[in-house]
Amino acid sequence: MLECVINISEGGDPAKLAALVAALGPDLLDLHSDADHNRSVFTLAGTDPARVLAREALNMFNISTHSGVHPRVGIVDVVPFVALEPSTFDDAIRARNEFARFAADELGVPCFIYGPERTLPYIRKHAFIDLLPDFGSAMPHPTAGAICVGARPILIAYNIWLKDSTLEKAKQISALLRSDSVRTLGLQVGSSAQVSMNLIDYAVTGPLQVYDFVAQHAQIDRAELVGLVPARALANIPRNRWSELDLSAEKTIESTMAARNRKLSS
């Protein structure tokens, strides 16, 4: 089984997001939207729903009118495929390449691939400057932009909102946190400062470690899990800290996948 965690550059139109949800059915495991980021993260089971979501989103939204604090290159901005047991990383690579070919050939949207070849941050810095798409046109689509299609291990997307703090402070903390296991951005989200993170090696640096690190440097308003978390990431976190860290057994990949399978078998 593959998981696909698609990031759509739209987070402030509830009616259109509801239409996307309706198109996905039980294969939608989780949806996280943020109007200030103007971004929605759809966690999907399997590969076919990714094509459904991409086609529908591209018909609804226009990158030329988009604004939001999160970096993006397109409407269907990031499409990472993640291998869940018993699938392998090679399965994720295959799904990545097949999706990129589909998006370029059938949807007309150029695609950059990431994974073993290059990182997503590299694409964000170099796309259409000194890096051309791997699939499709050398120019961005006029309304869709481009798509970053990846194959990656499981990661945890995680935000920490600071209390009575500044963007400068969020950027300082982000710089201190940044490492081989944590990618960070300091962002102004509405009236609040936020440390936005991808915990790319959560066995080394997980939610508990980043929360406690940030707490040493600023007052925390709240933590926010974006999407789902693997159950094994909770194993070394004391249960009495879960709520504070915005974690629970119900927010695990395993729990939501089991609920999806029950729906399909009923």
Which tens digits make up the pLDDT trace of 59-68?
Answer: 999 998 877 7
Whether pLDDT at 88 is above 70: yes
* pLDDT tens digits for range 158-169: 999 999 999 999
Does the structure show a pLDDT above 90 at 90? yes
Please give the model's pTM, rounded to 2 decimal places.
0.93
Q: What is the mean pLDDT of residues 149-176?
A: 97
Q: Which residues, 6 or more positions from 21, have their beta carbon under 8 angstroms from its beta carbon?
A: 28, 31
Instruction: Tell me what percent of the residues of the chain surpass a pLDDT of 90.
Output: 89
Give the mean pLDDT of the chain.
95
Cis peptide before 86 (omega within 30 of 0): yes
Looking at residue 89, its amino acid is F
Instruction: Residue 148: name the closest of 70, 262, 201, 85 by CA.
Output: 70
Query: Distance between alpha carbon 216 and the CA centroid of its chain, in Å?
Result: 27
**Taking a C-beta distance cutoff of 8 angstroms, is the pair 221, 192 a contact?**
yes
Does residue 22 register a pLDDT over 80?
A: yes
Residue with token string 């499981």: 154
User: Would you state the pLDDT for residue 34?
Assistant: 86
Q: What is the pLDDT of residue 164?
A: 93
208-237 pLDDT per residue, tens: 999 999 999 999 999 999 999 999 999 989
pLDDT computed for residue 70 by the predictor: 72
Q: Is the pLDDT of residue 51 over 90?
A: yes
CA 120 to chain CA mean position, Å: 11
User: pLDDT category, 182, cuts 50, 70, 90?
Assistant: very high
Residue 260 host element (H or E): helix 253-265
Residue 127 pLDDT grade (very low, low, confident, very high; cuts 50, 70, 90):
very high
111 φ, ψ to 5°? -130, 135
Say whether 241 sits in a helix, a strand or coil. Answer: helix
| Cα–Cα separations (whole angstroms), residue 92 to 84, 125, 229, 252 | 9, 24, 18, 20
pLDDT in tens, 100-116: 999 999 999 999 999 99
Q: Does pLDDT of 69 surpass 80?
A: no
pLDDT for 42 beyond 70: yes
Band (5; pLDDT cuts 50, 70, 90): very high
pLDDT at 54: 98
pLDDT mean over 77-96: 97
pLDDT of the residue at 67: 73
